[in-house]
Structure 1
């Protein structure tokens, strides 16, 4: 049935993938709105609390009878929750509140190349010349975006605190993605996501409790709660289903191309809704980042399709859960 649909109307799958990946970019804007009333840790907690309520029945339906964590495997689940849900999202929402969306979204877009390199270091996957070239290009683009072309000012003043927060976000997400590849050898994508989100939500609770007064929750605007629900329902759950189904229908290689819509949608929405400028230096940095990601993550040969599918499934877990 799905194959017939793809053959007759392939554009439906492409629209679904475009919507899913573009929604990841909208998380930057929603995070900016939500952190006007609540702390970053509180926004992160409520986002994933609501997402967990949706993911648990979804997991029981999609992966009925599937393998679940047990024994020492809970340590892996806790690491997933710590890196990709708790730490990454606290850093993400601090950046969404304090940094220009154009800057943070383009910088975080360099992540896939770092993931490829860390996979080589920790999972013994082959690091190719393309990986190295892609990393250099992507980091060069990220450097231009962070400094906005003013290298001298950076040399004199050093990295700003928000730049260090962005670096923490990138490293945490890369570690989460590498750990996710290990988890996907044991569990399905929906199960890995649900347990990681659940563990991360528990870790976020004490921070949200300490940072949030009852009056803040009562006075939070409808825009704040609507933004949180958008990130919970659309970004964290619906986009996961759409992207994962897209991988199954057209393959990981084609589906992964749509990931580049994430920073593009974030930049466009930031310009339209927040009035942020898009400078020539941002364009130059973005071109280097996207070129680096394309070069550094491209896979050759038919024999790598299965591994590529697993890798991109991890990326779907990534962004739907964390971005």
Structure 2
């Protein structure tokens, strides 16, 4: 059992590192191709990887019942299509570490909406955690002076990353009902597949063919990294961890994703770590922990 737990913890940490690296890989791709081209290629690789995993797990290619198609299509529209647009568009102008810290408030947003719509408990500690995390996000966005948001507003890049927060929150809440009849792995696989189909027309309109012809080796590495490692394997390992130690304990590991993103952004992209970024990031992660602690 001890070995099994150690193995599980290692897989969870590796998954978080891979997710942290998505912001660096996404930042690199966002500088060299159209956002929709990058998103389509990422989820083309991800869909193939996840469907193969489903086939190995089920012994056959997974199928959807007729009444499951529209809900899963909704997941693809929010968690893949919309999120990808905001993700790659935002990373054209926003640094990887900064974007990851903004997105780190997603668990808080999910907890707030779950309390409102699903009547989940939301006591004083969780309220303090939510406020701490949201103030931390404002510190990150405003470079240490949240009051300037009232006069100067939010930059386009940061606004796009906030779109990631909205779309992924919608994806997560929608997934609650879908996963009553589908396994997490099948839900992710099919949502990736439908999202890829939705991305195709936008990618073609954005110059997918010319983008593919101009991709450098580092670009292909980033695409494979995002699609196969960070989406396919990391999601599978994360859900495997949930089955061993539970959702609450596994969810705590997600707090390390922005930390890995900031560190990788510093070493791989030369992104500076300002005091406001460190302070705001600490507030975000602390708030997320208080809001989602068991």
TM superposition score category, shorter chain reference: over 0.9
Question: Where in structure 2 are the equivalents of 1:1-323 lying within 5 Å?
Answer: 6-8=1-3, 10-64=5-59, 68-212=63-207, 214-299=209-294
Unaligned runs of 5+ in 2: none
Write the distance in 2 (CA, Å) between the matches of 1:151 and 1:210. 38
Q: Does the aligned pair in 2 maintain the 1:63–1:188 contact within 8 Å?
A: no
Q: Does the aligned pair in 2 maintain the 1:103–1:145 contact within 8 Å?
A: yes
What value does the CA root-mean-square deviation take over the aligned residues?
1.8
Closer, same or farther in 2 for the Cα pair 1:166/1:8, shift >3 Å?
closer
Write the distance in 2 (CA, Å) between the matches of 1:127 and 1:33. 39
Cα deviation, 1:98-136, whole Å, max 9, x if unaligned, reads: 101121111101110111112223333333333322211
Number of residue pairs matched? 294
Q: TM-score with structure 1 length normalisation?
A: 0.86
Question: How far has the Cα of 1:68 moved from its partner?
Answer: 4.6
Q: Does the aligned pair in 2 maintain the 1:62–1:190 contact within 8 Å?
A: no
SS of residue matched to 1:97:
coil
Question: How far has the Cα of 1:214 moved from its partner?
Answer: 2.8
Question: How far has the Cα of 1:30 moved from its partner?
Answer: 0.6
Closer, same or farther in 2 for the Cα pair 1:72/1:213, shift >3 Å?
closer
Q: TM-score with structure 2 length normalisation?
A: 0.94
Write the distance in 2 (CA, Å) between the matches of 1:135 and 1:69. 37
Cα deviation, 1:34-70, whole Å, max 9, x if unaligned, reads: 2222111111111101111121121122135798533
SS of residue matched to 1:159:
coil
Closer, same or farther in 2 for the Cα pair 1:46/1:224, shift >3 Å?
same
Cα deviation, 1:259-287, whole Å, max 9, x if unaligned, reads: 12210110001000111111111111111
